[in-house]
Amino acid sequence: MSNKLTLGLLQLPVGGDVAENVRQAVLGITRLKAANPQLQLAILPESFNGPYGVEHFGQHAERVPDGPTCQELSRLAQQLGIYIIGGSIIERDAGDKLYNTCTVWSPSGQLIGRHRKIHLFSVDIEPAQGGGVQFDEGAALTAGSELTVVQIGPHKVGIGICHDKRFEELARIYRNMGCSMLVYPSAFCICQGPMHWELLQRARATDNQLFVVTCSPARNNMSGYVAYGHSMIVDPWARVQREAGEGRELIVEQIDFNMVDEVRRQIPIYKQRRTDVYELAKANTSD
């Protein structure tokens, strides 16, 4: 099979009508595939089917995989014969717990991955640091506890959601599990975006010598939570291969996984890594 993958990022606006948000996502993917027959993978934003906010989560939560949003993504993946990384939705489990969950669908319409956000977003930034924001997903959601690696054609892809990308150890585990790409549907807030959005993605890419892909909602300055936008593809050299702006934008890009092998061969950091580094640190740390 080819070592190249054609993917689409759908940076979509999110309104208060869940059915309309899903309809727009389905329409966007359908049109993207029609205009780009080579498209193999479509990626949606975090919380693409409903407003991102603690007060909204319970209102648009649904079961996985039987809820209406999941059923639409399953049907669409099968109809178009593509993989879909379904951004994230709010999942309600059988015990009535809520999770921020990314679903992944195969070209046959099968659910091949379900990632419950492991690191829930908690922030309290003072106005002097760039506008100010307070937010705590943990007030409504339960943290996930499982890693999620999916097979997209011949490639292993690690899944995280937004705040997960701040945690280098998660990316490192995925790299050690054989992943050559990490995908983080993300709704970074406007106060963090200018400081850390690109920085974190390039850091994860260069630390682990793989592709890092993020998909954000389009920015809406009138919403209670303002997403940064700037959906992005970063290559294993930590270069920004493609970046969206702030508004509604659909991106199609081809990535070449040969670059992963190229970087790892030319800068073989994993062959040089000391397995006893924690023992070294312990020995050199005074009480």
Domain limits of the chain? 4-259
The pair of three-digit structure tokens given for residue 50, joined into one six-digit string: 């409903």
pLDDT at residue 275 in the model:
63
Q: Are 260 and 250 in contact (CB under 8 A)?
A: no
pLDDT at residue 49 in the model:
97
What positions carry a catalytic annotation?
Answer: 46, 117, 162
- Measured over the CA atoms of residue 116, residue 143, residue 278 and residue 168, the dihedral's sign is positive
Q: Are 87 and 102 in contact (CB under 8 A)?
A: yes
pLDDT at residue 278 in the model:
65
62: left (phi > 0), else alpha (psi -120 to 50), else beta?
beta
Residue found under tokens 């319409």:
109
Architecture of the CATH domain 4-259: 4-Layer Sandwich (3.60)
d(CA 69, CA 83): 16
Which of 104, 43, 47 has its CA nearest to residue 255?
A: 43
d(CA 267, CA 259): 12
pLDDT at residue 229 in the model:
97
Q: What is the largest CA-CA distance in the chain?
A: 63
pLDDT at residue 131 in the model:
57
pLDDT at residue 128 in the model:
59
pLDDT at residue 283 in the model:
80
pLDDT at residue 141 in the model:
96
Question: What are the pLDDT tens digits along the chain (287 aa)?
Answer: 579 999 999 999 999 999 999 999 999 999 999 999 999 999 999 999 999 988 999 999 999 999 999 999 999 999 999 999 999 999 999 999 999 999 999 999 999 999 999 999 887 766 655 556 677 898 999 999 999 999 999 999 999 999 999 999 999 999 999 999 999 999 998 888 899 999 999 999 999 999 999 999 999 887 878 899 999 999 999 999 999 999 999 999 999 999 999 999 999 998 886 666 667 777 887 65
B/e letters for 174-210, b = 16+ CB within 10 Å, e = fewer, are bbeeebbbbbbbbbbbbbbbeeebbebbbbbbbebbb
Under DSSP, is residue 25 helix (H, G, I), strand (E, B) or coil? helix
